[in-house]
Amino acid sequence: MYSIHLSSASLSLQPDEWKNHVLGGIGFSNASDTAHPKITNFPFADVEMPVLEGAASACEIWISDSSVTYEQRGLIQYSYDENTLFGVLLMPQTSALEQMTESAFMQIFSLLETCGYRYIFRFWNYLADINGVDAIGSDGADNDEALERYRQFNIGRQNAFVASGRELTGNLPAACALGTANGSLTVAFMAGRSPTLAIENPRQISAYQYPQQYGPRSPSFSRANLVLLSDGTQKVADTDQTLSPQKLLFISGTASIVGHETKHHLDAVAQTRETLANIEIVIQEANKKVGLGEFNMTDLLYRVYVRHPTDLPAIRAEMEHVLGRSFKAVFLQADICRTDLLVEIEATAASTIRLPEEQYA
């Protein structure tokens, strides 16, 4: 399995045979982009979020090496091969965000248990007005206890984790949660049949252990998730080596946070530098787990969420300074879960390592 980044126009030109191997994807575009096609033949999260550079739209598409089956269950459109399931849930605005979120995650957990893909690699969460405040209580009635929408989202998400008997600490999936100007709650997710390995950052308190100053419930995600896609090995033609199972590293939305506190208020460049330092530590921790050092900063595919488009040149320049000019990234305008954060970066790395055959004897 692998992912590619392309514009929606390029996506629409791909042959049907190629599309038959698509697990799913996430697309970003401005609401005014009339050329942005509506994808219906595979799970696709269509997120209203402006692309800041290049084409008017950007898509991340996940491709399977084998045949893919497409199905629908309730609000969830999903696809799967023998190892991996990709799904998208678009939750209409019918109740308070806390209840909507709990319902969305309960539906996802039920699907994964039923289908046998209970180990979640990654969640991508997008919700309107993430920093907005609603005077809505947990019973859906107006009251005097206003609560930021991201904090409502965290309550609903954790309620679903508890009700579904899932862990609240330790081996949690990678995730992000970003704000859009409009639109329903959109959740994309990827899961598999085999356990994954959560990665934490020693520079940061785990998100699920944040103090209550950040909300009544802590966010339910790990800093990254390491995925082994196959239990088998493949012989490398005309050599005495085997090809190890592919590994994927999903790095959660990462920001300028040390411990649990935001660093470098109002300084987009310093926040970018701190964020990249956090990602580097996560990669180092992942490499300690696999013991081979196959992941590195320059091979990542980055998605960069920028609060203020005017900060983009400075953020890009700092990334070039740290990563070199050839790094691969998509830059998007988005609201971030804390109002004092100016940039958030997530990333994905894929690695297939060749090892001496005797290591698999």
Mean pLDDT confidence for 21-50:
82
Tell me which of 37-46, 180-189, 190-199 is least confident: 37-46
Residue 198 and residue 224 in contact, taking contact as beta carbons nearer than 8 Å = yes
Q: Are 296 and 268 in contact (CB under 8 A)?
A: no
Q: Which residues contact 21 (CB under 8 A, 6 or more apart)?
A: 63, 64, 65, 66, 67, 68
Rounded Cα–Cα distance for residues 227 and 286 (Å): 11
pLDDT in tens, 112-142: 999 999 999 999 999 999 999 987 554 444 4
Distance CA 299, CA 99 (A): 39
pLDDT at 234 over 60: no
Q: Which of 34-38, 94-98, 131-135, 292-296 has the lowest mean pLDDT?
A: 34-38
How far is 204 from 195, CA to CA, in rounded Å? Answer: 24
Q: Select from 154, 146, 129, 137 the least CA-distant residue to 95.
A: 137
- Percent of the chain predicted with pLDDT > 70: 87
> pLDDT tens digits for 157-166?
999 999 999 9
Q: Is the pLDDT of residue 151 over 90?
A: yes
Give the C-alpha separation, 77 to 88, whole Å.
5
Instruction: For 318-353, write each residue's pLDDT tens digit.
Output: 999 999 999 999 999 999 999 999 999 999 998 653
Cβ contact 229:246 at 8 Å: yes
- Per-residue model confidence (pLDDT) at position 76: 98
Amino acid at residue number 279:
I
Mean pLDDT of the chain: 88
Residue 225's DSSP bridge partners are 198, 250
Q: How far is CA 226 from CA 81, 195, 200, 229, 248, in A?
A: 19, 9, 11, 10, 6
pLDDT at site 244: 55
> Which residues, including other chains, have CB under 8 Å from residue 325's CB and lie 6 or more apart?
none
pLDDT in the model for residue 332:
97
- Dist. CA 321–CA 157, nearest whole Å: 37
Rounded distance between C-alpha atoms, residue 279 and residue 223, angstroms: 9
135-139, 193-197, 213-217: the lowest-pLDDT one: 135-139
Please name the residues in contact with 185: beta carbons below 8 A apart, sequence gap of 6 or more: 90, 91, 93, 97, 100, 101, 104, 125, 126, 127, 128
Instruction: Provide the annotated active-site residues.
Output: 344
Most confident of 22-31, 59-68, 225-234, 271-280: 271-280
The token pair that represents 346 in the structure block: 């997530």
**Domains of the chain with bracketed CATH:** 2-360 (3.30.1330.40)
C-beta separation of 150 from 175 below 8 A: no
Predicted pLDDT of residue 258 = 98
CA dist list (Å): 27 to 30, 123, 168, 182, 187: 10, 15, 30, 15, 12
The reported pTM is: 0.91
Q: How many angstroms separate the CA atoms of 346 and 301, rounded?
A: 8
Residue 192: per-residue pLDDT: 97
- The residue whose two tokens read 């699907």 is 111
